[in-house]
Structure 1
Amino acid sequence: MSTMMKRKDIVDNGGVRPKAVWDIKTVELYIKLCLDEVKKGEHNGTNLTEKGWKSVLCNINEKTGKDYEDNQLKNKWYNLKRDWQEWYKLFANETFVGQDSAE
Structure 2
Amino acid sequence: MANIIIRKYHRLLSIVIFIPLILMTITGTISPILQVLQLESAADFVRKLYSGRLFFGSAYFIYTFISGLGLLGLLITGLDLLKLPKQVNKIQKIFKF
**Rg larger in 1 or in 2?**
2
Please indicate, yes or no, whether the TM-score normalized by the shorter chain is above 0.5.
Answer: no
Higher relative CO (Cα under 8 Å, sequence separation at least 6) belongs to 2
Richer in strand (by share): 1
**TM-score between both structures, scaled by the size of structure 2:** 0.41
More helix by share: 2
